[in-house]
Amino acid sequence: MLIRKLFKFESAHVVRNCTTRRCSRSLHGHSYRVELLFTAKKLDNAGMIMDFGLLKGAVKELIDSWDHAACFWDKDTSEYVQLIQQHSERWVSMPVNPSAEQFSRVFFVLVDRVLSATSFANGEDGVQLDSVIVHETDSGYAQCWRQDAYDVHFGGLIDLRRLSFSNRVREEWSDPMWWDKLIASQGNGQPIFLHSSPPQQIS
């Protein structure tokens, strides 16, 4: 069984080295749609894989970080990067070229990391991210599965330490320090997103 949650944001980028000149040489924007698909080993106490309300915190804030932001590859020229940072208070520096394919990989690794740092409390069991779909236009999208997200042949490993957000983006988070906590917690197995157990109305 799969469940799907849709997120939207508006963002601008240049995709270096691509075939189309307009795409590779001109800053341009898209109305992005991001679909997250989840599976689980069983249904929780409410008969759900996971309550969609649990995605309104860190996951929503993460994806919203790209909204009305200019994103760029951290390997781009220093002149271009400085101009973006000078003229846009909302920007995201990415460790990969910001194509739809790489967006889907980045969001997979990000959401996967948030899930691994989340403590569930309503009988959820084995909730996993199945895949991520990033629609860049109405007619085109990229879909990423786990093997794609962590395969070095798809543009190298996604190093979250190389992903950085402007001060303005961070200031709008509910906790401006939670990204640093997420990075610091990587691999130590300690949850940083805790959900309290809901009261059982019917048992």
Sign of CA dihedral 149, 124, 37, 194: negative
Is 144 catalytic? The answer is: no
Catalytic residue among 13, 124, 136, 144: 136
Q: Contact at 8 Å (CB) between 155 and 149?
A: no
Phi, psi dihedral angles at 80 (to 5 degrees) = -65, -45
Catalytic residue among 61, 68, 89, 195: 68
Rounded distance, CA 76 to CA 96, Å? 10
Active site residue 136: yes
Phi, psi of 38 (to 5 degrees): -120, 150
- Name, in order, each residue with C-beta under 8 angstroms of 150's C-beta and a sequence gap of 6 or more: 109, 157, 158
Catalytic residue selected from 23, 30, 89, 172: 23
Which residues are part of the catalytic machinery? Answer: 23, 68, 136
